[in-house]
Structure 1
Amino acid sequence: LDGSHIIKMTRLLLLYCYRFVMHLVDLYGPFALFKGCFDDVNLNKLRLAMTSNHGSLFNFDPKTIDWDDYFYRVHIPGVIKYMLK
């Protein structure tokens, strides 16, 4: 392989990566930059009305979610698996 071929292939790879990242920005930008606040009053009422048995089965309290663990172990692998098909 000569130098010009390597440069051309590197350029194509970088262009592909750039387009893929920009696609992800377009896809997730509205969600990542969303500043909304959701009303969870009804969800909290439901959680408080459940018996302890059901409460452990259906944990509706978003404060107990380990978001780092969720993103690293569930969300990002899912995006990679289904977006790269």
Structure 2
Amino acid sequence: MTVSFELPRTITDLAAGTDLAAKAKEALLVELYREARITRHQLATALGLDDYEADGLLKRYGVDADLSMEEFEEQRTFFRRGR
């Protein structure tokens, strides 16, 4: 799915050198996680991150990275498959 929107030139000028599409995607996914609409694993997968990198991203956004029971079970299943 592609999402697009317009930004004022004054904003894009300030963000020169920044991958705005990647930043917008990251911010949307972090907000969905914050709202408990996606899991941390879904966030990491959508951004191509491992769990450690996802934790760092959430910390940069000031989001508590506590695992829900569902997320804990997802991670447990994931790690068991890896053995």
Q: Into which bin does the TM-score normalised by the smaller protein fall?
A: under 0.3
Q: Given the two structures, how large is their TM-score scaled by the length of structure 2? A: 0.23
Q: Which has the higher helix share?
A: 1
